[in-house]
Structure 1
Amino acid sequence: MNNQTFTNLEVEIKGVEKPDEIVIVGGHYDTAFTSPGANDNGSGVAAVLELARRFADKKPNKTLRFVEFTNEEPPYFWTENMGSLVYAKGCKERNENIVAMLSLETMGYFSEEEESQKYPFPLNLIYPSQGNFIAFIGDINSSQLVKNTINYFRKQVQFPSEGVAIFGQIPGIGWSDHWSFWQQGYQGIMVTDTAPFRYKHYHTLQDIPDKIDYEKLTRVVSGLEKVVGGFVS
């Protein structure tokens, strides 16, 4: 488009017992405006790459795909040129059975300070005020995927986590590549530090590597390895 070529990057590990059931782990590799994008979405990109490395020599029962998506950020966000929407439409056209999609989105910033975490209404009435947790977020159709993900995660790693399956129209709930899969009827969730509701450097020039808590991000990725392993077993 616009005389340029944009590319989604995909690696697939074919399932040995249920190859027609597909689990996708993805994150977008573009950044917003002039932001360096260390957290949004360098952290998610790194997590996808690390999970791909950990599964490279395994033989999952279900097919496992790792995808780095292009064009998630403006001006392509929620348009027909959003990389993940192009990808998800292709999956639907091929009648692919995607049983789970995990969008790894802005995952590396945590704070123990009170009132460091904000929310859109009505989530502010329910969830904690400290931004020290990783969140698993889905729409109503993805509620079982949210539950299963949290169950796998909490069994394997001691790390604060919160989950919600709620109407996708609430601000922030659909702000990543999982939204594209919702449009095609698939279950998808976002794994995130909640981005602008916690991270004040979101979409700014200050979204640089020293803002990321690498120890906590590593613990989250280790937990996600167990989550993904559970889904493809």
Structure 2
Amino acid sequence: VLNTSNSGNSWSASQTGVEFRWYNVEGVLPGVDIPDEIYLICAHHDDISEDPLYNAPGADDNGSGTAAVLEAARILSDYQFHRTIKFVTFSGEEQGLIGSEAYASKAESLGHNIMGVVNLDMIGYLDDANHDLDVYCDLGSEWLADTILQFSSAYVPGLIPYKVVDPSFNRSDHASFWNEGYSALLHIERAGTNWNPYYHSTGDTVGTLDLPYVTEMVQLGLASMAELAEPYVVGVEERDIVRKEPMRLALVIARNPFSDKVAFRVAKPSHLSASLKIYDSAGRLLKEFNPIQSEKETVTWDGSTDKGSVVSSGVYFVKLQSGPQTISEKVVFVK
């Protein structure tokens, strides 16, 4: 059952002397057996133009993202998932991310375990023949971007996603979640040659959009939510008794200290990729194993760096990350 509300966020704001009451809108599809782990698919439902009070069609910015969230809710609400999916649209984005800031701040203060956020903003205009998009992330959200790129290849091979690691890109609602420490992405049409010329204008109408491209963008968002939340499927005999427990991230280090090779045995959730990074005492990244795809995998390190040199004797720091889970350990290299 999909439960809807205004997510507890509403406020008054004025524009050109006219006061409005603004709301966020939230639909919740509760997880069956891991409901406290939450994934969000979101968009902003407000728009703007040179005539904002009377003519702001906002088809691309951001009717396209809002329609995608509604379509994802319509389809996924017929299924059950292990984790909770929230379908959220925000107001006040054009005025400074007001709605998403209120939502993310409240979620953090209440201790909501938001595992990842996919924000859809401007997903309908093509500037050339390439069906491509930018997937913006910050450093803490790279795991989610890498995972989404895998989903794109598997489910929507016609799309060409580009991962953009840019923590300073704060021009849409994903940034409100970054500010609260959550993993979040922005999916947005890629302006390879030209930015949408109808942006923030009365010309931003449905006729300027490429609907097959919009369909692919919606499919990626929908498939990503379904995979991340994991479908809850049981046979007749197992109904009412099956409970799937998620695998937690684990790291076992063999042969530490080491002079030849050290082995890292990784166990991780099957639906997420992982990365293992090795740093020196100054915090410099020396070696990266990424992505680790298998649910259980062993990787070895012989003391070499990604630049081809060999480290000197000393203590080195290992960071394993999969989704929001992180494990940090130390290894000692002795020549």
Normalising by structure 2, report the TM-score: 0.59
Counterpart check, 1:64 vs 2:63: no
Tell me how far apart the structure 2 counterparts of residues 107 and 223 of structure 1 sit (CA, whole Å).
11
Q: Deviations over 1:91-120 (max 9, x none)?
A: 00110110010111000011336xxxxxxx
Residue in structure 1 matched with residue 39 of structure 2 by the alignment: 23
Residue in structure 2 matched with residue 189 of structure 1 by the alignment: 185
Residue in structure 2 matched with residue 135 of structure 1 by the alignment: 134
Tell me how far apart the structure 1 counterparts of residues 133 and 60 of structure 2 sit (CA, whole Å).
14
Counterpart check, 1:86 vs 2:114: no
* Greater RCO, CA 8 A, separation 6+: 1
Q: Which has the larger radius of gyration?
A: 2
The structure 2 residue matched to 1:77, chosen from 76, 96, 99, is 96
The structure 2 residue matched to 1:98, chosen from 92, 104, 114, is 114
Higher relative strand content:
2
Residue in structure 2 matched with residue 52 of structure 1 by the alignment: 73
Tell me how far apart the structure 2 counterparts of residues 162 and 106 of structure 1 sit (CA, whole Å).
14
Matches within 5 A, 1:1-233: 1-2=12-13, 4-33=20-49, 34=52, 35-73=56-94, 76-78=95-97, 82-112=98-128, 132-169=131-168, 173-194=169-190, 198-233=195-230
Tell me how far apart the structure 2 counterparts of residues 178 and 206 of structure 1 sit (CA, whole Å).
26
- Structure 2: unaligned runs, 5 residues or longer: 1-11, 14-18, 231-335
CA contact (8 A) 2:104 2:176 kept: yes
AA paired with 1:146? A
CA contact (8 A) 1:142 1:165 kept: no
CA contact (8 A) 1:136 1:191 kept: yes
Tell me how far apart the structure 1 counterparts of residues 204 and 123 of structure 2 sit (CA, whole Å).
12
Say which is worse superposed, 19-28 or 191-200, in terms of deviation: 191-200
Higher relative helix content:
1
Q: Deviations over 1:27-74 (max 9, x none)?
A: 00000243320100000010000000011111111000000101000x
Residue in structure 2 matched with residue 118 of structure 1 by the alignment: none
CA contact (8 A) 1:110 1:213 kept: yes
How many residue pairs were aligned?
Answer: 208
Say which is worse superposed, 85-94 or 104-113, in terms of deviation: 104-113
Q: Deviations over 1:114-155 (max 9, x none)?
A: xxxxxxxxxxxxxxxxx5312211111111111011111211
- Structure 1: unaligned runs, 5 residues or longer: 114-130
Q: Deviations over 1:63-91 (max 9, x none)?
A: 00000101000xx215xxx0011000110
Normalising by structure 1, report the TM-score: 0.84
Q: Secondary structure at the match of 2:196?
A: coil
Tell me how far apart the structure 2 counterparts of residues 52 and 232 of structure 1 sit (CA, whole Å).
13
